[in-house]
Structure 1
Amino acid sequence: MLKLLIVVTSVNKYESNDLETGLWLSELTHIYHSAKEKSYDITIASPNGGDIPIDPESLKPLVLDKISKDYWDDANFRNLLRHTKSLQEVEEQEFDGVYLAGGHGTMYDFPNNTLLQDIIKNHYEKHQIVAAICHGVGGLLNVKLSNGEYLIKGKTLTGFNWFEESLARRKKKVPFNLEAALKERGADYKKAFIPMTSKVVTDGNLITGQNPFSSKEMAKVVIEELKRNHK
């Protein structure tokens, strides 16, 4: 049975404190659903553990797809989200894949979290799958490998871009420009030709998705790569 760690944010507000944020629901539900179908052993963890915030924008009817709605309406799943493990509880464990879900909350508690950096580094260097979607890609920014280089230096990847931030009307709210930060670290950043459409990039055992609309494709690619990695 393959083991998958899904990491989600613990942060529920922007720094300005006037807007709610949190996990973008579909970026968890699609990978969770696909892994569950394969009977994987799934652990959901967050920096603080316990109850995790959901970005209210991700629950709006226009963006809430059927899979996400079904899970949101499921009392057992909602209970699971109230009792996530803390990163401290899972740091010594070995997984076949580590998946960083997104949502603007991750911009605050992923990039400088040394526990998360260690988990990512250790799994990446053991050639396990490391995946991140949307703002969750920010969790890769400061990960350094054993040779002292940034993990993402020279890697082809994607993540939520600055124009999409503008479309989401969050440019003045976010703590940094994710697209620019990825490029500053030496990543070969790619994006979909049309903003807010699906884009998934695979570079060895690193898989990244651009935005919430990549959730379904991302889940498919991650499951395929997990299978290939463990033939």
Structure 2
Amino acid sequence: MKKIALLAMAIALFSSCNNSTKEHKTAKKVSTNIKNNIQMKKVLFVLTSHEDLGNTGHKTGFWIEEFAAPYYLLKDHGIAITVASPKGGQPPIDPKSNEADFQTPATVRFNKDKETQEILSKTLKLVDINHNDYDAVFYPGGHGPLWDLAEDNNSITLIEDFYKNNKPVAAVCHAPAIFKHTKNQEGAPLVSGKKVTGFTNGEEEAVQLTNIVPFLVEDMLKDNGGIYSKKEDWASYAVEDGLLITGQNPASSELVAEILLKRLK
């Protein structure tokens, strides 16, 4: 009888341990699934392919800080990032953004990061991008977008597709130039009645390019009905209105990414 009791206790203990193990495995699986769901979020970065600064003979392109800071912030939080540009391949880097005065922890990290440099050298062509593959789109600035992305039909269609499918569209500094021709589903400018910001007229004047750029970002956003706001020149400032997230200048790039990250989670 004693042996039977001991056997029953052993069976009960084994069953308890087995159930505990199963529960642990189930909890671990749920935790892993939650983590994977966060990591599965995908953001498309779109960079300019334009390198000529008007007729000045100088070069432009995208501003490294405005790519690197958002890129690393999102990547470090488990977001998968794909990079595209109108022409594909290596997008032009604004040479001024490589100067010592404009270095930040993000640009220093980028300059040592061969893996990301390799990714950047092989951007996908914008014409081959489908919004269905991504959860949001981010446009870094630099003066280049004023010439190509503002007028690029593939970019315009892509932005409108993201927006009408309830996906965030983020842009910083000169990149809000992408809203020059974009429309909402009613046919009005996409920024009409929306709170937005972007590179200020004062900041453009400070870099002495007011008469070189094809248009001023601040003026264009206002002309398209955007509710434009700004802080003092070169201050960090970002605005979120529905699906639109915009930043004023290079100092605002990480702030825009932080807002986007909150939306994705």
TM-score tier, shorter chain, comes to over 0.9
Q: Scaled by the length of structure 2, what TM-score is found? A: 0.83
Structure 1 equivalent of residue 250 of structure 2? 212
Structure 2 equivalent of residue 135 of structure 1? 174
Structure 2 equivalent of residue 104 of structure 1? 143
Deviations 1:201-229 (A, max 9, x none): 000111000000101212211111221xx
Q: Return the alpha-carbon distance in structure 2 between the equivalents of residues 82 and 126 of structure 1.
A: 30
Say which of 202, 225, 229 aligns to 2:263.
225
Q: Is the 8 A contact 2:42 2:135 kept in 1?
A: yes
Q: Aligned pair 1:201/2:239, yes or no?
A: yes
* Other structure's SS at 1:213 match: helix
Give the direction of change, closer, same or farther, for the CA distance of 1:172–1:203 in structure 2 (3 Å limit). same
How many angstroms does 1:93 deviate by? 3.9
Q: Return the alpha-carbon distance in structure 2 between the equivalents of residues 186 and 172 of structure 1.
A: 23
Deviations 1:93-139 (A, max 9, x none): 43111111100011001111111111111111111111110111000
* Other structure's SS at 1:78 match: helix
Q: Return the alpha-carbon distance in structure 1 between the equivalents of residues 140 and 237 of structure 2.
A: 15
Deviations 1:64-94 (A, max 9, x none): 1011111122222211111101111213543
**Which consecutive residues of structure 2, in runs of 5 or more, have no partner in the other structure?**
1-39
Identity %: 34
Structure 2 equivalent of residue 89 of structure 1? 128
Q: Return the alpha-carbon distance in structure 2 between the equivalents of residues 186 and 216 of structure 1.
A: 26
Q: Return the alpha-carbon distance in structure 2 between the equivalents of residues 223 and 78 of structure 1.
A: 23
Q: Scaled by the length of structure 1, what TM-score is found? A: 0.94
Q: How is 1:148-227 mapped onto 2 (pairs within 5 angstroms)?
A: 148-192=187-231, 194-227=232-265
Q: Is the 8 A contact 1:91 1:115 kept in 2?
A: no
Structure 2 equivalent of residue 3 of structure 1? 42
* Other structure's SS at 2:81 match: strand
Q: How is 1:106-121 mapped onto 2 (pairs within 5 angstroms)?
A: 106-121=145-160
Q: Whose helix proportion is higher, 1 or 2?
A: 2
Q: Is the 8 A contact 2:88 2:124 kept in 1?
A: yes
**Counterpart of 2:255 in structure 1: which amino acid?**
E
**Counterpart of 1:40 in structure 2: which amino acid?**
I
Q: Is the 8 A contact 2:47 2:83 kept in 1?
A: yes
**Which consecutive residues of structure 1, in runs of 5 or more, have no partner in the other structure?**
none
How many angstroms does 1:17 deviate by? 4.5
Moved more, 166-175 or 95-104: 166-175
**Counterpart of 2:252 in structure 1: which amino acid?**
S
Structure 1 equivalent of residue 75 of structure 2? 36
Q: Return the alpha-carbon distance in structure 2 between the equivalents of residues 188 and 17 of structure 1.
A: 32
* Other structure's SS at 2:240 match: strand
Structure 1 equivalent of residue 13 of structure 2? none
* Other structure's SS at 2:102 match: coil
Q: Is the 8 A contact 2:156 2:181 kept in 1?
A: yes
Q: Return the alpha-carbon distance in structure 1 between the equivalents of residues 187 and 256 of structure 2.
A: 29
* Other structure's SS at 1:6 match: strand
**Number of aligned pairs?**
226
* Other structure's SS at 1:174 match: coil
Q: How is 1:6-17 mapped onto 2 (pairs within 5 angstroms)?
A: 6-17=45-56
Q: Return the alpha-carbon distance in structure 1 between the equivalents of residues 227 and 185 of structure 2.
A: 21
Runs of 4+ in structure 1 off by over 4 angstroms are: none
